[in-house]
Amino acid sequence: MECISCGKKVEAEGGWVEFPCPQCGKVKILRCEKCKKIVNEYVCPSCGFRGP
């Protein structure tokens, strides 16, 4: 399990979030605490949706 924005492994970390892509719902978006905090952009690998 890796953060979709920075690729960091999140298993050992706390504070990360997982949610389905807001546009297609097919892909689980996983973000680490840091990327959540700095509102790092992510791109859905399935539909290309970009979001903070």
Question: Site residues (CB under 5 A) for Zn ion?
Answer: 3, 5-6, 8, 21, 23-24, 32, 35, 44, 46-47, 49
Q: How far is the CB of 37 from Zn ion (least distance, A)?
A: 9
Determine how β-strand 17-20 pairs with β-strand 28-31.
Answer: antiparallel
Task: Pick between residue 41 and residue 46 the one whose CB is nearest to Zn ion.
Answer: 46
Q: How far is the CB of 14 from Zn ion (least distance, A)?
A: 13
Q: Are 20 and 27 in contact (CB under 8 A)?
A: yes
Say how far apart CA 21 and CA 19 lie, in whole Å.
7
Q: How far is the CB of 18 from Zn ion (least distance, A)?
A: 12
